Structure 1
Amino acid sequence: MSAVFEGASVPVQLHLAAISPQELAQKIKAFISGMDPVKGHKLPLKDHARCAVLLLRTVPACRGAVLEHLCSVFDEYVGGYVLDLDCDLGAGGRGGGTGSGNLDDIVQEIHAVLSEFVRLNPKAWAPLVSGWSIDLMGCLSTKYSSRQGVPHAGSLNELLQFWMSCKASRALMELYSQCLTAMISSCPDACVDALLDTSVQHSPHFDWVVAHIGSSFPNTIISRVLSCGLKDFCAHGGGGGGAVDGSPPPQPFPDTRVPKIASVVGILGHLACRHADSIKQELLGMFQESLGAGPGGDPQQRAATVPFLLQLAVMSPALLGAVSSELVDSLKPPVLNQLQQLLGPLPREERENMISLAVHLLGQTSSGSFRLLRFLVDTAMPASVIIAAPGLAIHEGAREASERVVQLLLLSLQNLVFSLGGEPPGEARPPIPFLDGLRPHVRELCVETLRLERKRHLWLHQLLALLAVHGGPSCATEALCHMFTLARTQEELGLAAQLHAAVLVSSSSCVVAGLLPATLQRCVAQIHAGGLPDQPLAQLLSNLALMAQWDQQSNSNATKEDGSVGSASSIMSAQVAQIVSSSHLHDFSPLLLHDSPLVSEAAASLLSSVRLPGALQPARLLSVARAAVAHFFLSLRGRAGAADSARLLTRLSSVSSLSLKAVLQLLVEGALLWGGNAEMFGGKREPLSGAATPAGAPPEGACLGDARAPLLEVNLKFGSAVSFSSSGGGSVGSVFHAGVVGRGLKPRPPLAPAAPSPQPEETLLNQHLFLDVLTRCCCSSTSGKYHASPSGGPEEPQAAPVNPEAAKLVAAALAESVCPDVANGELPWPPEDHARTTVERDIRVRRRFQENPLLFQLLWLVAAGRPALCYCSVVLRSLLATLLAHWEGSREATALASPWHLRASSALVACMGEAQLLPPALGNMHEVFPFLAPFEVRLLLLSVWDYMRENSPLPQRFSFSAETGLFYRDFARDGDVSKYLSVLYSVLHKNVDRLGHLCGRFQL
């Protein structure tokens, strides 16, 4: 009897007392044969099952055979249940089939008996019943998975609902749950092992069991599944190191030889949606426990934990994504050193395999990829770069391993990117998870790259190039835009050129053609949207200007060396300059008037570094010219950028005749009429209209193409310019606008608050800078060609004489600014008596010259471009008339008593002589003015008036010399000039004691 009841802990005597030995023997015989001993025919399934249950109650030692037979009962029940559903579906829901309801009571009885055994003796029955129930559920799930009424394995919720609606499968699930509950505190591994074994055999049809059990016992299942998986991993050759006894180390990376690891991944995957935090904590706990140095634990399992976790991550990216961020946070220097100590003894081949697996995992990681990258790069940096606190230094082996991971990761990503590079444009590129995870962190990558740390910036720059190629045009333009904005030195900006070159080599032709235009368009869009503060905006413009100058410098250097240019920077430089000048000139020109001096200076540097297009629309051309001129005057007020602004104006004036006219007219008007500018040149400002204008800014309606000025102001401004007399003086408009009879003159409009008066040296410097710009604009129009400066800097125009056409434009602007109520066509010189009718105008002209010393210098510039001074005839005769009137009324003993009038008389005659409006003898008479009395000066000026009246300043009197390229005047054609020198000779004869040494200057 002891053999019969071996292993049974339940007191079976109670059961044996309820049945006689003869009846027990009869039941055993009936169970074994399946025949009714009385009637002699085959037992029905239900009766056969009741016999088995009776034997299980009375003779527990028969449990193996009984449980095997009971499997058929559950199979029959499930088959009937499935058949009923198939019939329902086939009959359109009207019912049919054999049904399984006649087995309900026997299934319930079986469940009650087994449940009672587990409750009374869990140590003996729980492992047996759990293994039997879980295996039976796996077999049934697989057997009926293909039936019509059974949901597909992919529909986990429907599959779970289907099986839990069946009483037989629900009874088996309750039995397993009871066994697991009973064994949690003592030995749950037996139940979990059975679960893993069955999952290996019957997945994915068994997933509903895993999902239900995992939801019922999440913490237990997660921890025990990982523990059993690790044990199986070690048992089948997994692990990362040798045993304590010196046995050879197992293979670090298992494949199909570790059958349970797939089930571990599947179970954890089912639980991840609701219990991700628990899984994360268990995984991190396993990792930290493996690094512990305590005496407890299996050394082999500790060494195998890291390879096991790596294998789990390879098989389940979801698990890797769930734990990657926390894992990175936990990898502090002490942990890295412990990991190095644990894995360092591994053979080199095993370490390389582990690094390769880590690289593969990184390539498949998208969540937290930027944090992983930063951790790897920081860890891989040389010790000379990393400044760590004492006790936090990273072991050299860990640093080398990290560097190896970074290098292999870049190589792997490069292979992936270029293997996918053949995708047709416009089609979706296959994903590369690591690069896709870095896509939102392009700016951070650019910032890290531009730190220019040893090795670090090379790795990140290579990764940035791969990301730009993989991400397509959008990502590439974003990366270049950030590089253009964030670079602060030429070396940093060179990385942008290298990035552009890398994308050029790696991308398709359509991407290459539109890369830089799209990048600059993106930069311009950020500017228009106000997304760049002043400092980054100024940096962007400065970098673009520097890139535009690279091509000029490269051309100059190449010409000196071997005449060839092929660097990546020069290629990008030429494209940037061409794109800015052809497509975005109107976008950058308003920045010349930006409130920030840094931005306006950078904008001037950029626009002055590009070749301006010749076919620029007039509206945009005038807008650019106006902004450039306004910036020039602002730069003279202490703001930097005057040199760039001058170079921009010079280039702009050489684009076309329209641009030359616009620049010259705006420069003259700006210096004479725009609010506050006259003060910079030692003069006084006079507002153009009733409203005061800001210092340095063009007044409303004062510039070409300005449509913002009110119509009334424009009419009032030009109303006084209408001349109603043929002689040009005393116009009705000038009288009408002077005031109202009985009320006096109209009040002068208020001036804007005056700025502090500049110092004399500042005034002289401003005059010099202004005239230099004006002269360069007038000279550059003769050639229109740029040549590199000897220093290799930005291109400058060739030196040339003042262009007569340009000087004519300056003369017209000067005459219009000084005397706006006289038409430009009044070139003939009127009689002396005519001055009586133009007193008001002449006084106003004299006052303007007296208040603004820049006017005489402008006359000198006009005189250098003869015969342009002819177009200032009205200004010359008004000024000469007022000087005659002054000297006529002067009662001083010498002309030196009126210093301004003396200087004005000398400058006027000298300018007319320089422009060949006067013959040399008359043009030199200003040399004797300081030695004469006022009446003598008047007599000499009358001679000038008479000559001009008889020989009107007309351009037709000049001829062009092809040899010299200049206009000249043949005074022999004007008749005898000696009659105009009689007064001069008389004055010289009278003052021969003082002027005898000058007589030679006045010979014909």
Structure 2
Amino acid sequence: MISHSTVIRNVPQQDLLSELRFFIRGATKKEKCNPLDLTKSALTLLKCLPASRVAIFEYFCKVFENASLNYIEGIETEIKTGKLPPISEADELVISEIHVVLITLITENATAWAPTISTWSLELLGEISTKYSGRAHISSSLNETLQLWMACRATRTLVDINTKCLSSLIHSDTESCISALLDTSVKHSPNFDWVVAHVGSCFPNTVITRVLSCGLKDFCQNKSYDQGRNSPKLKSVVGILGHLAGSHVQDIRKAILEMFTWSLRETFEDTDASRLQKKATVPYILQLVYLSSTLLSSICTDTKNTLTVEIIGRLYHFIDDWCKYFGTPEALEELITTLILRCEKGGIQIINLLLKCILVTKLRGNEQLKSDIIEKAKEILQNVLQETDESVRHSNPVNIMSSFSKEVHEINNMLLDPNVIVSETAGQLVVFLGHINPATLIKSITYLIQNATTSDQLALLLKVLTNELIDKTSPPYSEKGGHFSVVLEQILSRNIEKFFTSNEENADLSQMWKNLLTLLKWEKSGQVTLLNSHIISRAVQANLTNLTSLFASEVLHMHIIADILDSIEIPIPNDSYSPPIQVILNLTQSTVNYFFACCKDDGTSRKIRGFRKVCRMLKRLCTYSKVAKVLALRELLERALFRSDNILFEANNNEHDDASEKMLLKQNKKINKTIPLTKHSSVFNGGIIGTGKRKSVASDELFTDIAANTYQLINAIKACCALPEDNKYTDMSLDSMTLLSLLLVQFVSPDVMYNGLPWPEEEFSKVTMERDLFIRRMFTNTPLLWELLSFVAVYRPAICYCSVLIRALTATLIHQWKSMGEQSKDDDSENYRMLMDTTVKVIDVMALGQLLPPPLSSIRDVIPFLKCYEIVAILRECVWAYMRDHIPSPALFGCDSNGIHWRDPILARPPEIYTNSLRIIMQRNIKSLGHMYAQMFINVPKHE
């Protein structure tokens, strides 16, 4: 304060009295004065006569109000006429004079002048803002109101004066200025909000901190819960912070958290007032965030780093002290639940905090404290979930749902938590989100099916999928077979896209395949009630096109995908589900691919299980669809005989030899242009001059399981040809075996000429020699053909359709035996052994298929003892002649009551003309063939 002695020393009393009289006459309008002179007189009195301050400031109020009125009227005139009237120079000069003097006073002695001037300027701003709030469109948005008033010289000067007051006290005491700001805000809100916004933007940290502090002091004085909740100053604090939150939300959050941290620190310097404030801090913050969603969002953003179970344990001791601010513990609990439900950010962090409280194992304090916290956390969590459930059911989701929708990744991680309460809570949240947005449900179920490793996690997946809140009829999910069907569709389509674009194996789906197979097994067992609707198998069926396509290209997961496809048992005749033709074709092709992959597999037990799955799937496919049967047989035969897979069955791939033959043909053409080489010319290349005999090319890989692979291939073919229902005596379909025979002929015979069943004269073989040699080479290089021919021979009369192959083999044998010359059975050459072995195989096939009746069917036991020319005679005069005169037709076979086709060996015994040569030759060699001669010609059963 300025002392009287100072006034008297600086200004003569007579002059000061004259100034006072002049001011009174001018201010009371008893005489007309110049406004500028009157203002200068008032400023002189303000500096020199403290007792006149109230009157001076009252006069200044009229000056500023009059200038503001002139500004408002000018704006209104401009709105009406479109022309802005000239600004009053007198108002500008007077206000400028007041501004300069007040700023000088604040600068020279801020402690004395700043609180007084700040309070006056704020109150005047509040009155002006309220008085003219309805004029000149001032009732628009806060930003527009701020711009409008800051364009007014009077209000802009008042704001600048107040800003100077705050800046001058920034490092000492701003309490009085902030308190005045709060009081004015309470009194004149919302018209005063633009002032608060401007002051706060100039001193955000100071204003935020001081406003919070002033509000806390006022909050501590409240005597009851209602008084605190309805406190005008509390609402003013909320309003001010709300205005500042737009640009300074981080500052607000920081200030609130610092206040909270301060309240947790207990020091010896604490006074009774500070202890009271610390105890009231949490209720105060709760009331603030209850009144402002913006403040609530700001402090909930990082709950996990703000609140811990240990801090909650410390706060739990203050609940009794908090009750006076909330009335009852139940009211506090209800408020906390309400605040949690209102959170638009950090909702999952709060849920996790409650779960940590429920699962707490260690806590400072006694066991009773831990038990109380656990029970209270359970209660709050249950209330939150119940309220959320109710809001979702009534299509009015609470704010926290918005938070959950942004934190799906965290919720998904919770689904895999080993603690049941955590995973089930996450499951409930997924259900809530899925009810509102099914796409979120799809995302979570996808995450769960790909990462679940326990039965409990898979059970949770089923609980979520089948929950009553999930709308099973909503399109497009209902049209695609359900939500799980869409999950599979997305996983499979993404994986197929990755495979065909990047050509990489996707090992990340290993767990997904295991989980899908487990779910199918659960469904098939019938012991899981939630799967009675067959949601898993229906989802798989809806995605069979993608699944079967992926099965064809997958290598890492082929066995488990085969388990899945085998488990769903499709297609089933007369079943309600009819798979599309594309699925049938994909599955057939994929199963064949899987068969050959199993042949290459190293694991014995896994390999055998794979073959069994192949047979089951092929049988279902081929009995269901003839197209599938044709495709399966064609693919099995073609790959096993001609493609790179044929080395699995001991095939001899002479790719280099073929190249050599082509080169030799070209060389011959170059050497002699007159060589009559036609389009179909053959080159018998036994070697290249200068390089010796042509060498056989060894396979790059040696497969030790050739016999096993061949056995399994025959089983696979049997599955393709099987009857729909097992027959007691035969399990093969005659039509299927016929198809197999025709396919063999189609693949092995190089053309369609002379492929009929009849055998011509033996001399005619000269015409078909090239083709017969080709067929013979096929059988030599592909031993599998003998196994296939023998298999067909077992199921008569299908072998009849392979007549052209047997005929070609027989013709080449006759030619080769004849070319052996004087070599006899004693010759131990490799050629002789191979020729004898081939001859025995041909006779065996004909005997097995009952194309040769007894005693011709026993020739295979005779020829090893004969000379070459004798073998030629038997093949030509017995075998060829008989086959020429007895066409190998299915009509030769009768069908008994059991469905078995066969020829009665007694009734079909050939006339002597076809056995005489055999008889005579055996008689010549009676010493070695006597026992067989008696069996074949003497001890013959007689028919009745």
| TM-score clears 0.5 | yes
1:696 corresponds in structure 2 to none
Aligned to 1:316: 292
1:575 offset after TM fit, Å? 1.2
Shift of the 336–54 alpha-carbon distance from structure 1 to 2, 3 Å rule, reads same
Match of 2:559 in 1: 601
Which residue matches 1:776? 719
Q: Is the 8 A contact 2:126 2:184 kept in 1?
A: yes
* 2:871 paired with 1:947: no
Q: Structure 1 pair 748/769, CA: closer, same or farther in 2 (3 Å)?
A: farther
Query: What is the identity, as a one-letter code, of the residue corresponding to 1:527?
Result: N
The correspondence for 1:736, drawn from 681, 686, 689, is 681
Counterpart pick for 1:235 among 217, 221, 234: 221
Where does residue 584 of structure 1 map in the other structure? 546
Partners of 1:81 and 1:292 in 2: CA distance: 53
Secondary structure in 1 aligned to 2:197? helix
SS in 2 for 1:654: helix
In the alignment, the residues of structure 2 paired with residue 396 and residue 658 of structure 1 have an alpha-carbon distance, to the nearest angstrom, of 70
Change (3 A) 1:71 1:493: same
Match in the other structure for 2:489: 521
Distance 1:134 1:504, change over 3 A: closer
Deviation at 1:478, TM superposition (A): 2.2
1:660 paired with 2:629, answer yes
Give the deviation of 1:134 after TM superposition. 0.7
Judging changes above 3 Å, is the alpha-carbon distance between structure 1 residues 326 and 742 closer, same or farther for their aligned structure 2 residues? closer
1:223, 1:812 → 2: CA distance?
Answer: 94
The answer to which of 100-109 and 735-744 deviates more is 735-744
Q: Which residue of 2 aligns with 1:189?
A: 175
- Determine whether 1:413 maps to 2:388: yes
Paired letter, 2:442:
T
The one-character-per-residue Cα deviations of 1:369-397 (angstroms, maximum 9, x if unpaired) are 455555554454353xx9x9999xx9565
d(CA) in 2 for partners of 1:538, 1:965:
47
Which of 341, 356, 359 is the aligned partner of 1:381? 359
CA distance in 1 between counterparts of 2:910 and 2:697 reads: 54
Find the aligned partners of 1:313 and 1:914 in 2 and give their Cα distance. 94
- Secondary structure of 1:502's partner? coil
Question: Which of 270, 278, 283 is the aligned partner of 1:307?
Answer: 283
- What residue number does 2:670 align with? none
**In structure 2, do the counterparts of structure 1 residues 750 and 984 end up closer, same or farther at CA, with 3 Å as the change threshold?**
closer
SS in 1 for 2:498: coil
Tell me if structure 1 keeps the 8 A contact 2:640–2:646.
Answer: yes
Corresponding letter in the other structure for 2:265: G
Distance in 2, matches of 1:811 and 1:328, equals 74
Instruction: Report how far residue 225 of structure 1 moved.
Output: 0.6
Which one of the candidate residues 749, 755, 759 is aligned to 2:700?
A: 755
- Asked whether the 8 Å contact 2:415–2:427 carries over to 1, the reply is yes
Partner of 1:767: 710
The counterpart of 1:634, out of the listed 560, 583, 597, is 597
* Aligned match for 2:746, one of 816, 839, 863: 816
Q: Match of 1:891?
A: 824
Amino acid at match of 2:699: A
Partners of 1:402 and 1:20 in 2: CA distance: 77
CA distance in 2, matches of 1:958, 1:307: 101
Q: Which amino acid aligns with 2:490?
A: R
Counterpart of 2:508 in structure 1 is 536
Matches of 1:300 and 1:541, distance apart in 2: 62
Contact 2:106 / 2:165 at 8 angstroms: preserved in 1? Answer: yes
For 1:175, give the aligned amino acid: I
- State the TM-score, normalized to the length of structure 2: 0.82
- Measured in 2, the distance between the counterparts of 1:73 and 1:94 equals 22
Query: Aligned partners of 1:208, 1:621: CA distance in 2, in Å?
Result: 74
Contact in 1 for aligned 2:656/2:697 (Cα 8 Å) = no
- 1:140 matched to 2:98? The reply is no
Instruction: Give the deviation of 1:46 after TM superposition.
Output: 7.9
Paired letter, 1:304: A
Moved more, 744-753 or 929-938: 744-753
In 1: Cα distance, 2:517 partner to 2:718 partner: 25
SS of structure 1 residue aligned to 2:764? helix
Residues 691 and 649 (structure 1 numbering): CA distance in 2 closer, same or farther, change over 3 Å?
Answer: farther
Listed one character per residue, the Cα deviations across residues 137-187 of structure 1 (whole Å, up to 9, x for unaligned) are 111112112112x5444141x322322232222232233233333444443
For residue 131 of structure 1, what is the aligned residue in structure 2? 119
Partner of 1:203: 189
Letter in 1 for 2:888: P
**Cα distance in 1 for residues equivalent to 2:656 and 2:614:** 25
Distance 1:550 1:464 in 2: 23
The Cα offsets for residues 662-712 of structure 1, whole Å up to 9 and x where unpaired, read as: 11011111111111x3332233235599799xxxxxxxxxxxxxxxxxxx9
Q: What amino acid maps onto 1:407 in structure 2?
A: Q
**2:846 is the counterpart of 1:912:** yes
Q: How does 1:98-247 map to 2 (within 5 A)?
A: 100-111=88-99, 114-115=102-103, 118=106, 122-148=110-136, 150-156=137-143, 158-237=144-223
Contiguous gaps of at least 5 residues in structure 2: 666-675
Residues 982 and 270 from structure 1, CA distance in 2 versus in 1: closer, same or farther, beyond 3 angstroms? same
**How many aligned positions are there?**
895
Q: Which residue of 2 aligns with 1:725?
A: none
Q: Does the 8 Å contact 1:654/1:777 carry over to 2?
A: yes
Q: CA deviation at 1:66?
A: 4.4
Amino acid at match of 1:950: D
Q: Assess if the C-alpha contact under 8 Å between 1:625 and 1:662 holds in 2.
A: yes
- 1:477 pairs, out of 424, 436, 442, with 442
Moved more, 333-342 or 891-900: 891-900
Change (3 A) 1:737 1:379: farther
Query: Would the alpha carbon gap of residues 360 and 865 (structure 1) be closer, same or farther in structure 2, given more than 3 Å must change?
Result: farther
Q: Deviations over 1:951-980 (max 9, x none)?
A: 11123444555x423444578987965654
Bigger mean CA offset, 951-960 vs 296-305 = 951-960
Which amino acid in the other structure matches residue 801 of structure 1?
D
Structure 1 residues not aligned, in runs of 5+:
1-5, 238-249, 421-429, 559-564, 693-711, 717-730, 788-796
8 A Cα contact 2:489 2:543, kept in partner = no
- Partner Cα separation in structure 2 for residue 147 and residue 906 of structure 1: 119
Pick closer, same or farther for the CA change 1:29–1:661 going to 2, 3 Å: closer
| Residue 14 of structure 2 corresponds to residue 19 of structure 1 | yes
CA distance in 2, matches of 1:799, 1:448: 59
Amino acid in the other structure paired with 2:825: E
Higher mean C-alpha deviation, range 320-329 or range 874-883: 320-329
Report what 2:671 is aligned to.
Answer: none
How far off is 1:459 after superposition? 1.3
Matched ranges for 1:376-525 at <5 A: 376-383=354-361, 398=373, 401-420=376-395, 433-439=399-405, 441-472=407-438, 474-489=439-454, 491-502=456-467, 505-506=470-471, 508-510=473-475, 512-513=477-478, 514=480, 515-525=483-493
Q: Deviations over 1:773-819 (max 9, x none)?
A: 1111110xx31x7x9xxxxxxxxx99961111211222122223333
What is the TM-score of this pair, normalised by structure 1?
A: 0.78
Shift of 1:13: 2.9
Amino acid at match of 1:536: D
Q: Offset at 1:79?
A: 1.0
Rounded Cα–Cα distance in structure 2 between residues aligned with 1:257 and 1:970: 111
The answer for the alignment partner of 2:672 in structure 1 is none
Shift of 1:917: 2.7
* Greater helix fraction, Structure 1 or Structure 2: 2
| d(CA) in 2 for partners of 1:389, 1:773 | 70
Equivalent residue number for residue 83 of structure 2: 93
Q: List per-residue Cα deviations over 1:240-275 (Å, max 9, x = no partner).
A: xxxxxxxxxx64x87652222232222223333443
CA offset digits 1:351-370 (Å, max 9, x no partner): 55445444444433344445
Q: Counterparts of 1:747 and 1:591 in 2: how far apart (Å)?
A: 48
Q: 1:884 to 1:10 in 2, by over 3 A?
A: farther
Residue of structure 1 in register with 2:68 after alignment:
78
